[in-house]
Amino acid sequence: MYKHACKVSGKNPTDAEFDQGYKSGQFHFHQDKALLLDLVETYKINTQYLAQEWLASTAQGSSWGETPLVAVCRLVLTLNR
């Protein structure tokens, strides 16, 4: 997710910069609840709770996750391969 965010924003930080930021509490995408709404709005993602898992889907694909944010992040990465 971090590499995708860098690609979208046009930034190209080093692995050391990422490691330093991660250790200081940045880049924990699976815990950033505000990110969920941004991704859902940007990519027009539908979310559903089915069979005790979350499904994130668009017309182009779908992904599962244990939380809505994990499912949405996985879908965004899949759509942008």
| Per-domain boundaries in the chain | 43-81
pTM beyond 0.75, yes or no: no
Q: Are 2 and 12 in contact (CB under 8 A)?
A: no
CB burial class (10 A; 0-12, 13-18, 19+) of residue 16? exposed
Label residue 9 by pLDDT band (50, 70, 90): low
From the list 60, 66, 67, 22, the residue with the least C-alpha distance to 77 is 60
How confident is the model over 10-64, as pLDDT tens digits? 777 788 887 887 788 777 677 777 778 888 998 999 999 999 999 999 999 999 9
